[in-house]
Amino acid sequence: MIFVQCIKEIHSICSAFLWSGPTLSTRKAKIAWADVCKPRDEGGLGLRNLLEANRVACLKLIWRVLSARSSLWVKWIWKYLIRKGSFWSVNERSTLGSWMWRKLLKMRAVAVQFFKVEINSGSTTSFWFDRWSPLGVLIDFTGGRGCVELGIPINATVERVIQTYRRRRRRVPILQQIEQEIMALQERSLNQLDDVCLWKRESGDYASEFSTSQTWNLLREKKQKVPWSKGWLLVIGYLSGILKQCLFAGYVMQILTNGLHERVVTFLWRYCFQSVLHAIWTERNTRRVEDKALPTSCLMIKLDKQVRNRITSLRRKNRGKYEKAMEEWFKRR
């Protein structure tokens, strides 16, 4: 509850700054913050709602827990928090782990809708709790009773079941279907490759990588697209005016975006705009709380590094799509 109230307060402050600048007047807002956070083609500015962004970030952490078994952080979680069970079976009321860990456990009901496993060796996949079968998560169909009736331990892996299970006569339809899935894997036989973790995409297909943007689109409530979406550029112009009213913000923005007018680097200007907004807001809070100002030169170095890091991440992710961006950025330094 405290977290939600904090997010609401931050949204209120961001909305005030958006429409009134440094004066932070809450009475000058022309559009509700929820509408501002819509994508541009739905009539918003494309800013991210912090609650939605937090949910996506939590899902990404869950994805890493499930897929990045070689990570030191993930190994620690499996050894001390998950132990011999499955991530899906950890008691939500457990006192182990931090507040953030318990937050991730509460997000499992959402994460399970996105996650599934492609079986190879079956050694890291939970038979009962992971979604490896077309039937879905098997424990949801049988409950704890299924473990007894099929003679399969609650913490069994798919590999262990395929190696030890013996077929029997079943009268319950769902148990017959589960048995058929086991028989199909036994006939196919397992291999020595690692099981592949998959995450849902907007198309309904699954991929072996986590997509923040597509997960966000699947989570959020989509609105009807509007024909006047390009009008958001007018608002950007208005916001630029607000920045210029603040001498410090205007000076930083002018230096950072000097020469960024070509279409090929338009996205750089947009990212700079967002970075300056965030930096000015952070600087404002620091000065109010600590009464300590960050020198402009230090702020410029910090922002320049932030932009270069963003370009680097985009180049890796998009396979050369933003290759010229770094060149253009250095030309104007």
pTM, to two decimals: 0.68
| Confidence label for 76 from pLDDT (cuts 50, 70 and 90) | very high
- Residue predicted with more confidence, 307 or 319: 307
pLDDT at 12 over 80: yes
Domain ranges in the chain are 246-333
Task: Please indicate whether residue 325 or residue 109 has the higher confidence score (pLDDT).
Answer: 109
Residue 153 has pLDDT above 80, yes or no: yes
Give the model's pLDDT for residue 320. 61
Q: Which residue has the tokens 């992710």?
A: 317
Instruction: Report the 10 Å Cβ neighbour count for 314.
Output: 16
Average pLDDT over residues 281-291: 72
- pLDDT tens-place string over residues 249-268: 666 666 666 655 565 567 77
For residue 232, what pLDDT is reported?
Answer: 54
Largest CA distance in the chain: 80
The string of pLDDT tens digits covering residues 162-185 is 999 988 888 889 999 999 999 999
Q: What is the pLDDT of residue 234?
A: 53
**Poorest-pLDDT segment among 9-23, 116-130, 151-165, 170-184:** 9-23
